Amino acid sequence: MFTNENGSPMLKSLTIEQVHKIITDAEGLNAKHPPSPLGISGMTATVVAYATDRRKLKQEIAGLSDDARMELMALMWIGRDFEGDYDAALAHARKSSDEGDVDYITDKSPALPMYLRDGLKKVGVTPV
């Protein structure tokens, strides 16, 4: 469980280990498949390799409970300068959630590590 600087529970279903694992998996994917200078990849073999390697990150995110995934999405949005506080981001995640959540989060892999780290800093979360 995470707490804010006042010791109050912040994230109830998501653990620091899960966040760090997702950050690590996204960084590994990014290191293995850096973006091209044009932001696209035209080689089929490269696209297939990326999709295969992306599966590990996607499985990590898909393995989260629904509540933990909503907390992850809220944390990601806070790190992306969501207009509102964490509770508003979490409410928005719950309201807008659908079967595409896992792909939506996974698709953010190039910036996901930064979003999650910034989100943790912005909500003042420390591991317990």
Residues 6+ apart with CB under 8 A from 67: 12, 13, 14
Selection from 128, 123, 120 nearest residue 19 by Cα: 120
Going by pLDDT thresholds of 50, 70 and 90, the confidence category of residue 10 is low
Q: What is the pLDDT of residues 35-46, one digit of tens each?
A: 666 655 555 557
Q: Residue 8: is its pLDDT beyond 50? A: no
Q: CA 64 to CA 76: how far, in whole Å?
A: 15
Look at the chain and report how many structural domains it folds into: 1
65 phi, psi to nearest 5 deg = -65, 165
Q: Is the dihedral of CA 27, 28, 29, 30 positive or negative?
A: positive
Q: What is the pTM of this model?
A: 0.83
- In the 8-state DSSP scheme, what is residue 41? -
Q: How far apart are CA 110 and CA 54, in angstroms?
A: 11
Q: For 92-106, how does the pLDDT look when each residue is reduced to its tens digit (9 = 90+)?
A: 999 999 999 999 999
Residue 125 predicted with pLDDT over 90: no
Per the structure, the complete domain to which residue 50 belongs is given by 2-127
Q: Which amino acid is at 2?
A: F
Predicted local distance difference test score (pLDDT) of residue 2? 55
Residue 47 CB neighbour total at 10 angstroms: 13
Percent of the chain whose predicted confidence (pLDDT) is above 90? 52
